[in-house]
Amino acid sequence: MKINSADIDRTDLKVMRALSANGRASDVQLGETVNLSGTAAARRRRQLEEQGFISSYSAFVDQKKLGFTITVLVLIELSSQSENKLMEFEEAVLRCPFMSYCSFMSGENDFMMLINVRSLDDYNSVYRRELSKLPYVTKIRSNFLLREVAHHPVAPAVLEDNVLL
Backbone angles phi, psi at 19, to 5 degrees: -70, -30
pLDDT in tens, 69-108: 999 999 999 999 999 999 999 999 999 999 999 999 999 9
Domains of the chain: 5-58 (1.10.10.10), 70-144 (3.30.70.920)
What is the reported pTM? Answer: 0.77
What CA–CA distance (Å, rounded) separates 122 from 160?
46
pLDDT at 156 over 70: no
Cβ neighbours of residue 135 closer than 8 Å, sequence gap 6 or more: 85, 88, 89, 92
Average pLDDT over residues 128-137: 96
Give the angle subtended at the CA of 88 by the CAs of 85 and 91, to the nearest 5°.
150
Give the angle subtended at the CA of 113 by the CAs of 64 and 159, to the nearest 5°.
90
pLDDT in tens, 40-76: 999 999 999 999 999 998 888 888 999 999 999 999 9
